[in-house]
A and B are shown apart, each in its own frame.
Chain A
């Protein structure tokens, strides 16, 4: 029997930009799964909406020959995460299975992690969360509701990972590839987001990261992101817009 602590997993996500249609289903799924605060009018006005996964939209080309490029961005779970060493209280640290963990009840709110995070995927709770009464029973019991004054971010649906590990432990087997996926990957209609174990040589992600289109976001910073992107395939691409940013 394999105990969770003895598993040698490296959870990772591969994002195939070529398949992304920018539909934002992942964003909605993430909101529902992780009890992310519903944006109200004030949040919008102050630009403080929280989306653990967001679709960056870049325009390419000049009007009328314009193309929208979509880039789903969420916590990259960096192997050498810049947000981790700056936290004075270990509220964020690296787990053995390659995740960047955020411990909500240790966070004191220095916000240094968010400053030092080059991907801007960390969100601070400026308000106490409020849900309409009708929504109260919709909250996911597996995920903490974050109170004001602390930092939160994509967890790679760690609660799903832990549950799958428990199930596998109980059955005395390994976790099968594709057995579990975060809410965003589950909701993605085009299969642009693929989740899996990089240390499992037979997993789908292990094959995908071998692709020649593979790159990591802002790789030159040396953060060693755990999330791998696959480049857009564009037959009409004329080759001026892309710079070599990692």
Chain B
């Protein structure tokens, strides 16, 4: 991969710290817009706590709907960070450098957002927190470890802890850079965050070792998180949930939507902060190629899910697929999901011109995530509607405004958190860019026309 920047360290500092030190008009516009969305969601949550879940569209037999769909979706998005940082770091893909931090931060924020969904969804979040976290052992009753709802928070919080550490380790050298450029209370705060970073060779070595170690440690967590989230469904008796392929299916789907979200975010960052020198068409090209593979693997699982259901001819299982494929509005959703999730994006990604066209990539990645949201919805709701052969208790689900607004609010919330983050911390790792530049320039004398990277082994 070609090095993204040919610029002095001075220029890199100036350009990338620009977001922290200066605030432009686009930033304020976006901030106001997103805050409005978050405010609407907060109002909905307050109403929901006052009125109970009566203001949602849930009913017997569909007890889970938009909130849980949204939960799975955001957990999926959180797979962006590790996919980009850890896997690409370990596989030494050089083009990852400007993208890593944004992806990791997206991981942390989307995990936080994801966990809000099941809490809100119980209707009385304080009780859920009380019973599941600082557990009341006084009566000797522990949480039921047979329940996937105990595995699930354990996995998610492990992942949250790991990815927060991951972000922080990578931020330490950059905290030091900001510390040196600020005065007053900001100097003190950044100084504390920089943990006495001086840039000595020993510190650099430790920082790199910590990064590599965390990458390796977090990989199993990365795989297990979405596997465990999938078991929230797969261990159940509900038709169309009750299948063994969910774990790999969910993980690969999560990578698909997570990496697409990174593309969306890169394009947005480029527009917002004008980082044309750092985020180049090369990055979109690479991510596009990665996604062709990921999307194809994911679509293979989608087909397998259908195949397995049809393979053992069970009437209730067939009833659910009949609902998905032939009945309004699920038939439309399936069409949209197959086209915007696989056929349309992968078809376009095959063309290099599309992969290098940032506007096109932005919209394609948005469409992929629409499809991924629909996919989760199509997995969760139809199975509940036609739960068993007892047709008398079949039901339907119509989400209410309260659910829709909250879902939109979570998107605004993640966006707002990212914006606020970009105000206080550099979204592109300064040291990583510099390192990439140093490594690249040293080897340019090699074979003509083949950009390469020098590495200490």
Chain A residues within 8 Å of B, Cβ to Cβ? 42, 46-48, 56-58, 71, 73, 82, 85-90, 106, 108-112, 114-116, 118-120, 122-128, 148-149, 217-218, 221, 223, 243, 245
Contacts and interface: CB of A to CB of B under 8 A. Distances in A.
B97 to A, nearest CB: 41
A127 B131 CA distance: 22
Interface in B109-157: 118, 121-124, 127-128, 131-132, 141, 143-144, 146-150
B132 A149 contact: no
A86 B149 contact: yes
Contacts of B147: 85-88, 112
Given A87-B144, A88-B143, A89-B144, A48 B52 contact: no
Interface stretch (B232-240, B292-300, B347-355): B232-240
Nearest to A92: B144
B389 A218 contact: yes
Contacts of A217: 390
B283 to A, nearest CB: 41
B59 interface: yes
Contacts of A221: 237, 388
Contacts of A47: 59-60, 395
B190 interface: no
Contact of B144 (A85, A120, A124): A85
Contacts of B392: 56-58, 71, 73
A110 B128 contact: yes
Contacts of A118: 237, 387-388, 390
Leading 9 A-B pairs by shortest Cβ distance: A88-B149, A111-B63, A56-B392, A120-B393, A109-B122, A148-B52, A85-B146, A126-B54, A88-B147
Given A85-B146, A149-B122, 13 more contacts: A47-B60, A58-B391, A58-B392, A88-B149, A88-B150, A108-B132, A109-B128, A112-B149, A115-B236, A115-B384, A223-B237, A243-B315, A243-B389
13 contacts: A58-B391, A73-B392, A86-B149, A88-B144, A106-B131, A109-B53, A109-B122, A110-B122, A112-B236, A114-B60, A116-B236, A118-B390, A218-B390
Contacts of B384: 115
B64 interface: yes
B318 to A, nearest CB: 13
Contacts of B52: 125-128, 148-149
Interface in B30-81: 52-54, 58-61, 63-64
A89 B122 contact: no
Given A48-B59, A110-B118, A89 B132 contact: yes
B123 A148 contact: yes
Contacts of A90: 141, 143-144
A86 B63 CA distance: 14
A125 B395 CA distance: 18
Nearest to A245: B389
Interface in B8-22: none
Interface string B165-209: 000000000000000000000000000000000000000000000
B328 to A, nearest CB: 19
Contact of A82 (B118, B141, B236): B236
Nearest to B395: A47
B132 A88 contact: yes
Contacts of B146: 85-86
A66 to B, nearest CB: 16
Most buried by A among B60, B150, B395: B60
A86 B236 contact: yes
A47 B52 CA distance: 16
A48 B61 CA distance: 10
Nearest to B57: A46
B402 to A, nearest CB: 12
A123 B315 CA distance: 26
Contacts of B395: 47
Contact of B123 (A109, A115, A243): A109
A89 B145 CA distance: 9
Most buried by B among A46, A82, A106, A123: A46
Contacts of B121: 110
Contact of B124 (A57, A109, A119, A218): A109
Most buried by A among B146, B149, B315, B390: B390
B64 A111 contact: yes
A46 B64 contact: no
A152 to B, nearest CB: 12
B387 A120 contact: yes
B406 to A, nearest CB: 16
B59 A149 contact: no
B290 to A, nearest CB: 35
A111 B53 CA distance: 12
A49 B396 CA distance: 15
Contacts of A149: 52-53, 122-124, 127
